[in-house]
Amino acid sequence: MAKDVTQKLTSGKPMSLIIGFSLPLLVGMLFQQFYSLVDTIIVGKCLGVEALAAVGSTGAINFLIIGFCMGVCSGFAIPVAQRFGAEDYDGLRKYVANSLWLSCILSIVMTIVVGVFCRQILELMQTPANIIDQAYAYIFIIFLGIPVTYLYNMTSGIMRSLGDSKTPVYFLLLASGLNIILDLLFMARLGMGVEGAGYATVISQFVSGICCLLFMKKRFTILHMSREDLKWSNHYASTLCRMGIPMGLQYSITAIGSVILQTSVNRLGSDAVASITAANRINVFMACPFDALGSTMATFGGQNVGAMKMQRVKDGLKSATFLGFCYSVLAVIILFFFSNYLLLLFLSPTEVAIIGNARTFLLTQAFFYFPLAIVNIFRFMIQGMGFSSFAVIAGVMEMIARTFIALTLVPSIGFQGACFASPFAWILADLFLIPAFFYVHNKLRKKFTSQCRL
């Protein structure tokens, strides 16, 4: 009989559990960003600055749509983690089955709608005329892969909610290697242009998702389902939607501010777009530890709330915040001394102005990494505790901040104004998330205390 690979986060030292759980997540995210970096390097070096700007100009709309998919799947995993922590395996299986049904429905509807309106969205964003055709060619292929995005994020999210953060990484490593090979084949060898980068991403993610699905079927014995488990249930589906839709909206609402900001940056020309594209590739890579801590908090919070261990929830938050602070300091030091060298991965040394702007953008983000750490740690913890609607409010805060910068600072002072959009957004979100956590924690603590007295 195959060994079950689930893991409980409801006992043991929170610090060691968080580090042990988040490290595989971090490795996976780094490799995910690594093959994204390879896309950008090949595009920038082989296809030129315009192609680089074209791919980069789709970042905000990509985050708007794909971020919604990822958020929904993360939300679907929360009830699974809570039922696992409560050792309610019958309910756990029903949540997993209804997640499958909902993911199929949402992926089909979203693919059709987004595919139809993709070009119009790019035009509304005032994508520069010299790059809009390449931008459309790339992002349209990415959006056709929305069902694949749901497949990987749903299966990997369920595995993490059951305490297995390692297995999704193994399949992501496989996908990373495949993505690099396909990049080189499609773009460098076959000359497919930016479309090649899109196909490489979708194919690799499909392989990773299928591997996750097959592994779950074989190794997670508590997921072996009966016909009764697989039936559609309005009760379970509605609970999943209450968790998943707000988390998806949080990503999308945040992305609306990014779309508005991208529109303002697009007016500055393709050089400004290329600067932010190159800087953001490094920025996203450097921010992976914050994302790993956030994902860890969602599972840690979900399992411990299911087990009604509220003191462990607070202890876990403290440990994650300390880790986030330590890494924030390290990241600033690394980028201060090495950002120019990193930017040369994407840009030619002759593009002095673009490199200078990219470094300014990158360092501005880095000095505000700790507020970003707080956003991820507190927001995902709150979501794991079952209050996904609070994520929407935090997303609105970020949207307001980015929109304000896009409509005021960017038109008045140009590129430098865009550098402060994300830091302002993180700080504004923190002002809401920190008190929100203590409100939610106290509410659940009182609820569980009263239940124990009955």
Q: Is the pTM of this model over 0.85?
A: no
pLDDT above 90 as % of the chain: 27
Is residue 3 very low, low, confident or very high in pLDDT (cuts 50, 70, 90)? low
Is residue 36 very low, low, confident or very high in pLDDT (cuts 50, 70, 90)? low
Residue 185, pLDDT above cutoff 60: yes
The number of folded domains in the chain is: 1
pLDDT digits (tens, 9 = 90+) for 232-279: 999 999 989 988 888 888 777 776 777 777 778 877 887 887 788 788
pLDDT of residue 1: 36
Which among 61, 116, 161 has a CA at the least distance from the CA of 380? 161
Burial of 174 (0-12, 13-18, 19+ CB in 10 A): middle
CA distance 335 to 331: 6
In a domain, 29, yes or no: yes
Is residue 111 very low, low, confident or very high in pLDDT (cuts 50, 70, 90)? very high
pLDDT digits (tens, 9 = 90+) for 305-352: 888 888 999 999 999 999 999 999 999 999 999 988 888 877 778 878
Is residue 452 very low, low, confident or very high in pLDDT (cuts 50, 70, 90)? low
In a domain, 176, yes or no: yes
pLDDT digits (tens, 9 = 90+) for 403-432: 888 888 888 888 888 888 889 999 999 999
In a domain, 1, yes or no: no
CA distance 293 to 314: 15
CA distance 197 to 182: 8
In a domain, 3, yes or no: no
In a domain, 370, yes or no: yes
Residue 107, pLDDT above cutoff 90: yes
Residues 5, 219 contacting (CB under 8 angstroms): yes
In a domain, 9, yes or no: no
In a domain, 5, yes or no: no
Gap between the terminal Cα atoms of the chain: 41
Is residue 366 very low, low, confident or very high in pLDDT (cuts 50, 70, 90)? very high
CA distance 260 to 402: 8
pLDDT digits (tens, 9 = 90+) for 120-163: 888 887 787 888 888 888 889 999 999 999 999 899 889 988 88
Range of the domain at 37: 14-453
In a domain, 48, yes or no: yes
